[in-house]
Homo-oligomer: A and B are copies of this chain.
Amino acid sequence: MQAYANLFRLLTNALVEQQAVLNTSTPKQMYEPMAYTIGLGGKRVRPLLTLIACDLFNANPQSAVKAALAVELFHNFSLIHDDILDNAPLRRGSATVHEKWNRNIALLSGDGMMVKAFDVLSECDTTHLKAMLKLFSKTGIEVCEGQQFDMNYETLEHVSVEEYLNMITFKTAVLLGCSLQMGAICANASLQDQIHLYEFGKHVGIAFQILDDVLDVYATNDKFGKQVGGDIISNKKTFLLLKAFELAVPSQKETLNCLLNNKNISNPDKVLQVTAFYDSLDIKELANREANIHTETALKHLMEVEADQTKKENLKQFAFDLLKRHT
């Protein structure tokens, strides 16, 4: 986004520098996978949000660079370990750390990256350190809890929509809120503004995840970039599936369970039939409506933030751009 070109440049330079440090540290068996993971790229949404939040209150974004780096390092730690847990072969189109090296290397370089996140945080201004460390560690724990809930739900027979929303809040959304609040803290924003920004980020994150579930079923292949229906094929407990179970009458529940457990159905047929089932219950519309509720809540919180109107508009637009991919 044009409005954030300078912030993005500032962030990119800091990341390049961080990567260079990692690439020359020893033991290289531990540091190379860290540099590799950061080098895989991604949209850098979280650290950028930290800088955006700092800039929103007219503070020098340079003062939030360490906090932004800490957020990105933590996020990358969680990617390395989540990929071990999920046995994922690919991350952003490249081999995951445990595939490219091995699981022990992935475990240890992930650990190192997490401690490094706190180490970078320790370089932040003393005035803000306690508030930042409290927020950052609380969020870190919630991210771990969210990952554990996600793992639990894989084998659990009954998961409610509410439990699912709680899980994605912890696993994904709180780190977006935290990223923004970290920047606000650096800028000496009031606690009230900090919390409004946190809630803004959190609800954008929840909306994003719900729309991600919708997209997995309803995207056109060329827009999506991965196989449409992947969640259906793997019986993943998404918002759509859990909402369908919530609304289905007993006979429909049985039909849906049969579809999920049918070992003889082809994947394309399964996708077609589950999608038809969703359509019969208007699940897509309900999911979009739920996402909208969170987007609206997010915007209400942003409106409450006492800051420059144009800058708030830019942040709103940034969030819309994030969500747009999903609608």
Residues of A at the B interface (CB closer than 8 Å) are 26-27, 29-30, 81, 84-85, 104, 107-108, 110-112, 114-116, 118-119, 121-123, 126, 129-130, 133-134, 136-138, 140-141, 144-145, 147-149, 151-152
Q: Which residues of chain B are within 8 angstroms of A85 by Cβ–Cβ distance?
A: 104, 107-108
In the complex, A81 Cα to B105 Cα: how many Å? 12
Bound CA–CA A271/B103 (angstroms): 33
- If the complex has contacts A118-B118, A133-B118, are A144 and B29 also in contact, measured as CB distance less than 8 A? no
Give the complex CA separation of A85 and B133 in angstroms: 29
| CB <8 Å contact, B141 and A119 | yes
The 5 closest A-B pairs by CB, nearest first: A119-B137, A115-B140, A122-B133, A30-B148, A112-B144
For A137, give its contact among B111, B115, B134, B145 (CB under 8 Å).
B115
> Least Cβ distance of A217 to chain B in Å?
28
Whole-angstrom distance between the Cβ of A180 and the nearest chain B Cβ: 19
Closest to A78 in B: B111
Q: In the complex the two chains form, is A122's CB within 8 Å of B149's CB?
A: no
Q: Which of A29, A85, A114, A116 has the most chain B CB atoms closer than 10 A to its own CB?
A: A114
Q: How far is the CB of A188 from chain B (nearest CB, A)?
A: 16
Q: How far is the CA of A134 from the CA of B147 in the complex (A)?
A: 28
List B contacts of A149 (CB < 8 A): 27
Closest chain B residue to A85 by CB distance? B104
CA of A151 to CA of B105 in the docked complex: distance in angstroms? 9
C-alpha spacing A241/B275, complex, angstroms = 65
A107-B84, A115-B114 as given contacts; A30 in contact with B130, CB under 8 Å: no
Give the docked Cα–Cα distance between A26 and B144 (Å).
Answer: 11
- Please give, as numbers and ranges, the residues of chain B lying within 8 Å of A140 by CB-CB distance: 115, 118-119
Partner of A129, one of B111, B114, B129, B152: B129
Kindly identify which residue among B27, B81, B152 contacts A107, using a CB–CB cutoff of 8 Å.
B81
When the two chains form their complex, are residues A116 and B141 in contact, meaning their CB atoms are under 8 A apart? yes
Residues of chain B with a CB closer than 8 A to A30's CB: 144-145, 148
